[in-house]
Structure 1
Amino acid sequence: MPSAPRPLAPTYQQRTWTLPPDAVVHHGTVDDAADLLRGRTFTALTGAGISTDSGIPDYRSPDSPPRNPMTYEQFVGDEAFRRHYWARNHVGWQHVRRTRPNDGHRALAALEAAGIVRGVITQNVDLLHEDAGSRRVIDLHGRYDRVACLTCGRVISRARLAERLDALNPHFLDTVLAEGLTVSDIEVAPDADAVVEQTSHFVPAPCEFCGGVLKPEIVYFGETVPRERVERAYAMVDDADALVVAGTSLTVMSGLRFVRHAAKRGTPVVIINRGPTRGDPLATLKLDAGTTETLTTLAATLTSR
C-alpha cells in the first residue's frame, strides 16, 4: 500500500513578520497616490491579493486560513509528497483555469494600453494579467498551465497532463467531487493546489518521453527564481518612473528585492495592500486598501483628460 506523505515541514508561509515598532510608514489615500503618479509611468508588482476578487485565495492575508505549501525539497525528494501534490493539483488547476480577471487586472491592462504602466511583474501563476490584456508581463514564479520534466526538460501543457491523469485515475475526480460538490467548492490555493484528504491511491504520470519526474513550471518555496527572469524584472523597474506594489505582503525576498531596488534608486514606491507589508518602511506612500477598487480608481483618474 502506498505510504502517506509525512506532515508538511514548516515553510515560508508559516513564518510571521511584523513591522518594527520604530518603523515610519507614510500612509495615504487613493487621491494621494494619483497625485504622486500623475505624469509618471510605473511598473506594477503584484501578488496573490490582486486575484482574491477572482476567487483565488491568498496565503497571507489577515483572514486566510493556515496553509502549508509544498517545498521544492519535499517535491523532488519524496514520491509520497509528489503523489499528494499531483492529486490535489489535479483538482485545483481546473478551478484556476476557469477563473477570470477582475477589475484590478483590467485596470492595469488599461493603464498599459494608455502608456502609463510599463509592465507587470507578478508573483502569481494564474495568468490573469495576460487574460485581462496586459502585454508586458513577467511571471516571476512561473505559470500554472505548463509542466516540465526534471530529467529531459521537455515541457507539456497542463491540459495534456490532465488527460493522462484522468486515464490513470478514472474515478478520482468523481470521488472527490461527490455529494454535489463542484471544483469551486474545494479550497484552492494560489499555486493551483487544492485541499484533498484522500490521496494515497492517486497515480501520478511520469514524463511520456523519458519516464522522468514531472513538475509544474512553477517556482516552489525553497526554489530559486531563474536569474534571467529576475534581471528582466529589475530592468522593468528601472524602465519606469515609479513602482506600484499591489496585493502582496512582500514577506519573501522574491518580491521585496524590487522594492528595495527602487527605493535605493530614489524611485517612488506606492504600496497597496490590506494589512502591513515588509516593504512599508521603504514606501513613499502606503495605502491600506483593496487592490480592485484602488487600481480601478487610479486607472480612471490617471487616464482622464
Structure 2
Amino acid sequence: MVEAEDAVAAAEHIRAELGDGPVVALTGAGISTDSGIPDYRGPYSPPRNPMTYQQFVGDFAFRRHYWARNHVGWRHMEGTRPNDGHRALAGLEQSGVVSGLITQNVDTLHSRAGSRRVIDLHGRYDRVICLTCRRVTSRSRLAQRLTALNPDFDVEVSDAEIAPDADAVIAATAHFRVADCEWCGGVLKPDIVYFGENVPKPRVAEAYAMVDEAGALLVAGSSLTVMSGLRFVRHAAKQGKPVVILNRGETRGDDLATLKVDGGCSPVLASMASLYGT
C-alpha cells in the first residue's frame, strides 16, 4: 500500500511510465473520497444496493422513495469541495500533460477544480431531465419545488448515510410528495446514468475518441468493476498504449495495466503535479 510518505516515489514511477503526455485520465469514486463522498467498492465501503433504472421508471413508490432520499443527499453533495487529486488533474491539464478527462463520477468536482475538457460519463447530479419532453433543468430549481411541496420533511444530512450518486439512506419516505415536469407533467429523473441504463452512445464515442488521441491512459480511483469504464482500459491496451492504474485495492483492469499503484489518489496525484511542474 502506498501511503503519503511514499507518494513521491509512486509519482516518479507513474511519470516514467506515462511520459510527458498527452495523457487521458479516467476517474472513479475513489478520487472523491477525500472530499467526503464515499465510494461504491473501496476496501472500506459498506454494501450498497442502488436503485435501478427499471425500478425508477416502473414503480411510483420507488421514485418517491428515491426523490425523498435524493432531497437529503444532494445537499451534502452541494457542500463538497474539490480535493488535491482533483486540483492536481486540473493543473496537469493546464500544463498540457493531461489532454482530457473521463469521469465516472456525477459529483462535478473535476469541473469545479478547473478541469475544462471533461466527459461526465454517467451524467451530473446537479441536473434533472424530463423523461417525456427531455427538457433539462437544474437540481437546485427542483429542490425549491420539493421543499415547497414537503415543508415538514426535515432529515438532517448528519443522520443519513450518503452515497456517491447524491442518494441518502433514510427510511421514512411514504408521505413525500414528488414533483413532475413543470412543462409537460412528465416524470423527472436525475440526469445521471442509473444501473441498468446505457451511457448515451455519442458520449461513449467522444470518450473513445479522447483515448484515441492520447498517448497513454491514467486510471485514478476506479475499481473498473462496470464495463462503462473498463472498456476504455481495454481500448487503450489493445492499441499498445501505457495504462497506469492508481487505486486502493484490486481492479478489474489490473491484468491490462503496465503499472499498478495501490494508493490514495490525493497524495500521489499531487506529487505527480509537482514533478511535472504544475
TM normalised by structure 2 equals 0.95
Counterpart amino acid of residue 117 in structure 2: R
Question: In the alignment, is the contact (CA less than 8 A) between 1:38 and 1:302 conserved in 2?
Answer: no
Say whether residues 1:148 and 2:129 are aligned partners.
yes
Equivalent of residue 72 in structure 2, options 91, 95, 98: 91
Structure 2 unmatched ranges of 5 or more: 1-8
1:265-284 aligned at under 5 Å gives the runs 265-284=239-258
Task: Please give the secondary structure, in 2, of the residue aligned with 1:64.
Answer: coil
Q: How far is 1:62 from its partner?
A: 1.1
Which residue of structure 1 aligns with residue 117 of structure 2? 136
Q: How far is 1:299 from its partner?
A: 0.9
Q: Deviations over 1:231-250 (max 9, x none)?
A: 10011111111100000000
Which residue of structure 1 aligns with residue 216 of structure 2? 242
1:195-210 aligned at under 5 Å gives the runs 195-210=169-184
Question: In the alignment, is the contact (CA less than 8 A) between 2:21 and 2:98 conserved in 1?
Answer: no
1:1-305 aligned at under 5 Å gives the runs 29-173=10-154, 176-177=155-156, 183-303=157-277
Task: Please give the secondary structure, in 1, of the residue aligned with 2:43.
Answer: coil
Q: How far is 1:36 from its partner?
A: 1.5
Structure 1 unmatched ranges of 5 or more: 1-27, 178-182
Q: How far is 1:154 from its partner?
A: 1.2
Query: Aligned partners of 1:59 and 1:167: how far apart in 2?
Result: 32
Instruction: Mark the CA change 1:126 to 1:184 in structure 2 (over 3 Å): closer, same or farther.
Output: farther
Query: Aligned partners of 2:10 and 2:139: how far apart in 1?
Result: 41
Query: Aligned partners of 1:216 and 1:36: how far apart in 2?
Result: 38
Task: Please give the secondary structure, in 2, of the residue aligned with 1:300.
Answer: helix
Task: Please give the secondary structure, in 1, of the residue aligned with 2:169.
Answer: coil
RMSD: 1.1
Question: In the alignment, is the contact (CA less than 8 A) between 1:46 and 1:247 conserved in 2?
Answer: yes
Question: In the alignment, is the contact (CA less than 8 A) between 2:99 and 2:214 conserved in 1?
Answer: yes
Counterpart amino acid of residue 90 in structure 1: H
Q: How far is 1:184 from its partner?
A: 4.6
